[in-house]
Structure 1
């Protein structure tokens, strides 16, 4: 994530801010420019951005701003209907807001989803909605479990439709599930990054003629998926699973291996952008030169950094932050091991994205 500042007073801003805490100007996010802008009212319920590149535009907040669930800006709807921003147009179902608890859950979900869309737009990846492509387009259903005690909602992906069980927005419930499933890491943003990996397997692999090259790295995805999952849950993982897989769940099926690796690549580039925006460099105080030293490549991890540059920056950063967490008595910030087998898969994801960017 980039750093942002108010154009009126230069106060630092965060991605989710709706107002500058210093000068109190309303602020909104411009997805086309990947920046936050201070706003001046037009007197007609619309806003002029202070951002120089679009200061003559007349914009409105997304309709979900009224629920404190979105701070993105968009153009007014010509038909007079509530205007919906780019990120919120992919919502097919949101929680029932008559339940006050669901409003807080939805807000947390939207924070994670908007960060996902920030990354997808920064990576210049193709995104088609369910309305543009009714069979394979992207859409989100945020669903609650039925009150009758029937089978709980499962988070998952089905040909572009991503379902998220809204109980995942409850921290205690998500932690309980993390422990039950034997996972190192479970977050709302992690769910979004994993499930969007399935969508991009369809778009960038299956539908783009890359099946064979992907299978050469991740294995044969033609094996029965349900049978593979059943086997995964009924049997212990291979003892050497860390040599080739970034997580235990990635061992279950090549589709899950791809999605887990995709999610980790998004974790990496997003975190590196934040670290470099803050000027973070790592120089351990050791007697000899350390492989954990890095100045950071100084490039854009989303668009220009090479895979080697990304890895050379990532490993020292995670080592340092894991050590900081341990000093506070916390769990590791990044509890994963990037073996040569895992790096090969991450390199495939990196090449896949760079090839897509080159095609425009």
Structure 2
């Protein structure tokens, strides 16, 4: 994630900010050019005024209750920004805890959409395509009912379901421990589930099965039985040599989704590191004895997966060492094998090809 500047006073601001701490202007994210703009806190006009003419950009309908800081830059009749218009169901906001959880979920979802926009991946809403468009059901269980089926995070034909209790840190950590996962975050959920959607869009709908199967295996294997076996018996011995996570070893669809999500982790974390001047990416085009560390590395536009990996590995070593020096567990609890590198290279090429086609 890049750092941004307030357009009114040039103070450094962050993606999550809704106001500038320096000039106190209201801030909004402009998705068309991925910038943060300042708005007059009184009348909502764009700051500074151009040629003394006040411009009043449209804020997302979810600006107040949902905490959305994105602008609406088209004439979409819903009044929602490009991220919020994909929502199908939101929790009952008369319940205060649901409001807090939903706002956390929406913040993570906007982080996902930032990457989708940077990658130029196609976005189709459920209104545009009711059967296969991208949509989100954010559901809350009724604590007064004993008949409700548990709400599980998942994906079905473009519709992503998330139990809003996942936004509660203690509950999410309890589930992580119970499932033996090294890593469980809201943003991670979104990146994993969106991968299933893009498997449909970029693989299934384009009949690109052969190349994908050559890397991840045959997805026609019984999915339900594969997951039942995974939860009953655990991952296959030696899974670390072939998969980024134990869950990835359960079925080719999950291998694709876990690798796809991991690619997003890598690219966006490198983007953040570069924004803060953490010089982890060597100029790999020069001889080893002349290597210089640069700060101009754009991970979202990297030409090769190998370049990303060369930058990523030393960064993970550094951040894990920092965590250990503070008595904290590793921030990055993964070990990547050569087989995983190859899978990441496939995902890199898949996304980069889509970006080239959209230009």
Give yes or no for TM over 0.5.
yes
Q: In 1, distance between residues paired with 2:49 and 2:88? A: 32
The answer as to whether partners of 2:154 and 2:160 remain within 8 angstroms in 1 is yes
Query: What is the aligned counterpart of 2:135 among 132, 139, 149?
Result: 139
Q: In 2, distance between residues paired with 1:194 and 1:63? A: 27
The answer as to whether partners of 1:37 and 1:50 remain within 8 angstroms in 2 is no
Q: In 2, distance between residues paired with 1:68 and 1:125? A: 25
The corresponding residue for 1:29 is: 29
The answer as to whether partners of 2:138 and 2:164 remain within 8 angstroms in 1 is yes
The unaligned stretches of length 5 or more in structure 2 are 282-287
Q: In 2, distance between residues paired with 1:20 and 1:305? A: 35
Aligned length: 347
Which shows bigger deviation, 1-10 or 154-163?
1-10
The unaligned stretches of length 5 or more in structure 1 are 284-289
Answering whether residue 255 of structure 2 is matched by residue 245 of structure 1, we say no
Answering whether residue 115 of structure 2 is matched by residue 95 of structure 1, we say no
The answer as to whether partners of 2:154 and 2:193 remain within 8 angstroms in 1 is yes
CA shift, 1:268, in A, is 0.5
When residues 294 and 182 of structure 1 are mapped into structure 2, their CA distance, relative to the original with a 3 A threshold, is farther
What is the SS of the residue equivalent to 1:356?
A: helix
The answer as to whether partners of 2:115 and 2:264 remain within 8 angstroms in 1 is yes
Q: Residues 175-234 of structure 1, C-alpha deviation per residue, up to 9 Å, x if partnerless?
A: 000000000000000000000000000001111221110001000100111011001111
Answering whether residue 109 of structure 2 is matched by residue 113 of structure 1, we say yes
The answer as to whether partners of 1:127 and 1:138 remain within 8 angstroms in 2 is yes
The corresponding residue for 1:189 is: 187
Q: In 1, distance between residues paired with 2:220 and 2:57? A: 48
Q: CA RMSD in A?
A: 2.2
Answering whether residue 71 of structure 2 is matched by residue 40 of structure 1, we say no
What is the SS of the residue equivalent to 1:208?
A: coil
The corresponding residue for 1:64 is: 62
Q: In 2, distance between residues paired with 1:296 and 1:208? A: 38
When residues 63 and 37 of structure 1 are mapped into structure 2, their CA distance, relative to the original with a 3 A threshold, is same
Q: In 1, distance between residues paired with 2:76 and 2:345? A: 44
The corresponding residue for 1:287 is: none
When residues 78 and 168 of structure 1 are mapped into structure 2, their CA distance, relative to the original with a 3 A threshold, is closer
TM-score normalised to structure 2 length: 0.91
The answer as to whether partners of 2:244 and 2:258 remain within 8 angstroms in 1 is yes
What is the SS of the residue equivalent to 2:132?
A: coil
